[in-house]
Structure 1
Amino acid sequence: MYGEGTKRGAVPREPARGRSAGPGGGDGPRGRRPRRGRRALRWSATTLSVLVLGTAGAGYLYYEHLNGNIEKGQRSSGDSKATKTAPNAAGQTPLNILLIGSDSRKSDENVKLGGARNERGNPPLGDVQMLIHLAADRKSASVVSIPRDTRVDIPKCTDPRTGETYPPVNKIINTSLARGGAGCTLATWENLTGVYIDHWMTIDFAGVVQMADAVGGVDVCVEQNVWDRPLPGVPGGSGLKMKAGHKKVQGVQALQWLRTRHAWGSDPLRARAQHMYMNSMIRTLKAQNVFTDTGRLTDLAEAATKSLNVSEEIGTVKKLYDLGMQLKTVPTDRITMTTLPTSEDPEDVNHLIPAGADADRVWAMLRDDVPFDGKGGKPRSKKTEKARKAEKGSRDPAAADGAIGVLVQNATRSSTLGPVSGRAAALAGSLVGQGFTKAAADTSPARSEERTVVRYPSAELEGDARRVAKSLGIPTSSVKQSTDVSGVTVVVGADWRTGTAYPKQAAPKAGNLPGDADALNGSDAGKCMDVYAPYRW
């Protein structure tokens, strides 16, 4: 999890920066039930955050002390247009949490664990990034990792601590953490995926070790003896040394497992090792009840609240516990961990880019709350009042077509594709031809948005925006209210590069993940990591 620039499928040179922390988890042994034990609620984990959240939920032991441990920050510090998903037929909404492993070396302990003492004062990088998606019905969970060297668009961000503003850039995703904190990384993910992210959590080197020690160990497996060490021409390495087979790792060795990349052969394969660790941790937690041992429970609560930084809206023990209780219901076999499909960056062989249609399919499944595992049932036919109103349209009817002012913007540039010139003019011309005589093209330089959207500033223009969207074939779900526009605005995204009728999008199907998403089911305990030959011993 703490690694170096990578070419897909092979170990490249070691870059100047690139070590980060990864998540950990744990279990607790059985013991005497404390006097208040009957008040303790049982829980189970779905990811590292589940461990942290559920553990913090036992805050009755010393609630105020634990609250004082929690560090928190602004949810979003970047320019993002993502909006919350509308409730499903049962009135439920998905829950999305961004988990970030930071390579911060601000403390002596982090420097000792992460090395690179000469980089102590440098801004941290977010080398481990995972989006945890809890389905609206709370019956399944999907996790997507993005390799740290994946080049994406990072939006304009403002550091909430210093007030410094960073302009938008097109760089590898791990640099987003240094351009406005975790809130900037969250905004980067939202723009890339179109998924509204409810919360973020970050953990550093020392935090991983503290959590792993408190947990008591997680079972991992390698096919061959492994030693991740410096080799001629390839410096660095995590120091992980294990014999073939299964072993329970904790403390520094758990950190080494999560940091290892050379010995697996690539950054996407490092994500696989991290997924194996997390799934193993989940199975361990589900097999035990940590609330039966006061000492273990106290250790876990201390480690959890000291190890994590969280977004401010979940910055209390009670809120973390409430969140954990939502996560506990997912069975192990309904947890699917994946890595974003990527391909080699044509601009730098040590970097990656999202793999076009395959990456888009993963994001579409998350946006539409489609289960990764293919086990989801058919949606209920019953519609909520909100859904019925949406189908009927806005309360304010649309004005006559010729009276609707429309601005069309070209946002066809993406993190991997250049802009298509003339798109705003072409769509504005099409609207004029349909009778929207006040339609005009925005002549400012092309912007970048992954998906086409129609925005409107206030409720009285919703009907006009829907009318414009319908005339172009843009789905109603892509009509959004936004204070960033002064009138009805059609933003032509990277998903609409040709033609004047919006291309129909095939609805994603449950379980229809791309083959290169490297899906791993949470109940699969038989997986072992294959060791890249130079690192066997």
Structure 2
Amino acid sequence: MPADSTRGPGIPGESGDTGPRRRAKGRRRKPPTGRRRALTAMAWTAAGIVVLGGAGAGFLYFKLNGNLRTIDINQALGGDRPTKADNGSENVLVLGSDSRAGGNKKLGGGTDDGSARSDTAMIVHVYEGHKKASVVSIPRDTLVDRPECTDGKGGTHAAAHDAMFNESYSTGGAACAVKTVESMTGLRMDHYLEVDFSGFRKLVDELGGVPVTTTRNIDDPRSHLDLKAGTHTLDGQQALGLVRTRHGVGDGSDLGRIQLQQAFVKALADQVKHIGVLTNPKKLYDLADTATKTVTADSDLGSVNALIAFADGLKGISSSHMTMVTMPVRYDPANPNRVLVEKAKAQQIWKALRNDRPIPKTATEGTATGKAGGVVSTS
């Protein structure tokens, strides 16, 4: 990960300063409008598992099952949570994390103190019937009110005002991150998936790289990324550099990086289809083995059978029926390295998802996006 003090995750990145908020002068950045669609991390994480499980591959099942790590979110959070929706929809919190520090440190992503970071967060709302979905990316630099939470070891952490969103994970782990999201949105998170970024790198390498086209040069020494405008087949290390870069594109904010992440995941999904991974048994197994080592799931998804059933229920969702947006935010006038929630617009999103309705276009019009749209073309 880059040289900043808050370094990250599954799809990692840098952070601005974490000290007291300060008044900053200078012109305000005005991002472009627009909406991008992409598949989620779950698609490539679960792809191999579905077919292998369906084939009843005996000992392979047990090996893959043993790869999985689980967290009992329900026990950690107790009963003080939003009510589960009764309309057939589901909400899944997907985080990128560097919590498996050994492999991550070799990539420059592990923290010196052994703690974990999370710089990528997406709320995936699967609509009733599982034929379409909406994905809401939460910028990690968003200032939020973090509720009091209990970590996986039973430790209690006090509530905090104007805390960075990604500090919820580093403070109290998955349970605290889920509780913070539920407090912000009023939505019950039915499932939790965490993706480790060293595994992300291996998945890209096992796929033989991912082709992307950059519309202009990208040069970011912090992310070890130097790409000329044109078409490239990125290996795992380069892919990490692309999805974690923020200084090489747009206005240098986390919002621009989110746009690159969305574009890259779309390219990744296209590559999975292109190489015919589901008809190549060895490649399928390698992908499934890496994927199950890469993902940490809530206890309800903590077996290969459960992931098979869950992923099987998502197979009907095509990219044309998935909408991705960024949670409505504006730049913090007190600190350009932070963003503030546009509460009225955000409430439009949460209300729509609560009622299992499409996200209205008005919810994201005129909000900050980071000026990185169109830098990576996947068409």
TM over 0.5: yes
Distance across 2 between alignment mates of 1:244 and 1:252:
18
- Once the two structures are TM-superposed, the CA of residue 110 in structure 1 deviates from its matched residue by 1.1
Distance across 2 between alignment mates of 1:516 and 1:248:
34
- For residue 72 of structure 2, the aligned residue among 71, 74, 78 is 74
Hey, what does 2:157 align to over in structure 1? 166
Distance across 1 between alignment mates of 2:275 and 2:326:
29
- Once the two structures are TM-superposed, the CA of residue 149 in structure 1 deviates from its matched residue by 0.8
- For residue 47 of structure 1, the aligned residue among 25, 33, 40 is 40
Unaligned runs of 5+ in 1: 4-13, 24-44, 88-92, 230-236, 373-508, 520-525, 531-537
**Residue identity in the other structure for 2:172:** G
Distance across 1 between alignment mates of 2:69 and 2:62:
13
Cα deviation, 1:181-228, whole Å, max 9, x if unaligned, reads 112111111111111111111122312112212233223232212111
Cα deviation, 1:220-250, whole Å, max 9, x if unaligned, reads 2322121111xxxxxxx11111121232223
Quick check: 1:211–1:307 contact (8 Å CA) kept in 2?
no
**Residue identity in the other structure for 2:105:** V
Hey, what does 1:515 align to over in structure 2? 365
Cα deviation, 1:429-448, whole Å, max 9, x if unaligned, reads xxxxxxxxxxxxxxxxxxxx
Hey, what does 1:146 align to over in structure 2? 138
Q: 1:289 to 1:529 in 2, by over 3 A?
A: closer
- Once the two structures are TM-superposed, the CA of residue 278 in structure 1 deviates from its matched residue by 1.3
- Once the two structures are TM-superposed, the CA of residue 157 in structure 1 deviates from its matched residue by 1.5
Quick check: 1:135–1:369 contact (8 Å CA) kept in 2?
yes
1:178 counterpart SS class? helix
User: Mapping of 1:58-457 within 5 angstroms?
Assistant: 58-59=52-53, 60-61=56-57, 62-76=60-74, 77-78=76-77, 80-87=80-87, 93-104=88-99, 106-107=101-102, 109-114=103-108, 119-160=111-152, 162-170=153-161, 171-229=163-221, 237-264=222-249, 265-287=252-274, 289-372=276-359
- Once the two structures are TM-superposed, the CA of residue 516 in structure 1 deviates from its matched residue by 4.2
Q: 1:285 to 1:529 in 2, by over 3 A?
A: closer
Distance across 2 between alignment mates of 1:336 and 1:303:
27
1:19 paired to 2:8? yes
Structure-2-length-normalised TM-score: 0.82
Cα deviation, 1:24-71, whole Å, max 9, x if unaligned, reads xxxxxxxxxxxxxxxxxxxxx942212222311213331011000001
Hey, what does 2:375 align to over in structure 1? 528
2:223 counterpart SS class? coil
Structure-1-length-normalised TM-score: 0.59
Quick check: 1:75–1:313 contact (8 Å CA) kept in 2?
no
Quick check: 1:150–1:354 contact (8 Å CA) kept in 2?
yes
Q: 1:78 to 1:151 in 2, by over 3 A?
A: farther
Distance across 1 between alignment mates of 2:182 and 2:127:
17
1:84 counterpart SS class? coil
- Once the two structures are TM-superposed, the CA of residue 297 in structure 1 deviates from its matched residue by 0.7
Distance across 2 between alignment mates of 1:247 and 1:518:
29
Q: 1:66 to 1:273 in 2, by over 3 A?
A: same
Q: 1:284 to 1:527 in 2, by over 3 A?
A: farther
Quick check: 1:54–1:325 contact (8 Å CA) kept in 2?
no
- Once the two structures are TM-superposed, the CA of residue 343 in structure 1 deviates from its matched residue by 1.3
Quick check: 2:346–2:363 contact (8 Å CA) kept in 1?
no
**Residue identity in the other structure for 2:135:** V
**Residue identity in the other structure for 2:62:** E
Q: 1:135 to 1:113 in 2, by over 3 A?
A: same
- Once the two structures are TM-superposed, the CA of residue 327 in structure 1 deviates from its matched residue by 1.0
Distance across 1 between alignment mates of 2:227 and 2:270:
22
**Residue identity in the other structure for 2:155:** E
- Once the two structures are TM-superposed, the CA of residue 145 in structure 1 deviates from its matched residue by 0.8
Distance across 1 between alignment mates of 2:374 and 2:330:
25
Quick check: 1:158–1:179 contact (8 Å CA) kept in 2?
no
Q: 1:518 to 1:292 in 2, by over 3 A?
A: farther
- Once the two structures are TM-superposed, the CA of residue 15 in structure 1 deviates from its matched residue by 4.2
Cα deviation, 1:503-532, whole Å, max 9, x if unaligned, reads xxxxxx5x544224689xxxxxx94349xx
How well do the aligned residues superpose, as a CA RMSD in angstroms?
2.4
1:327 counterpart SS class? coil
Hey, what does 2:32 align to over in structure 1? none
2:101 counterpart SS class? coil
Q: Which has the higher contact order (CA 8 A, sep 6+)?
A: 2
**Residue identity in the other structure for 2:151:** D
Distance across 1 between alignment mates of 2:312 and 2:192:
17
Distance across 2 between alignment mates of 1:282 and 1:177:
27
Corresponding residue pairs, total: 339
Quick check: 2:122–2:136 contact (8 Å CA) kept in 1?
yes
Quick check: 1:228–1:238 contact (8 Å CA) kept in 2?
yes
Unaligned runs of 5+ in 2: 13-37
Quick check: 2:136–2:327 contact (8 Å CA) kept in 1?
yes
- Once the two structures are TM-superposed, the CA of residue 120 in structure 1 deviates from its matched residue by 2.6
Quick check: 1:142–1:337 contact (8 Å CA) kept in 2?
yes
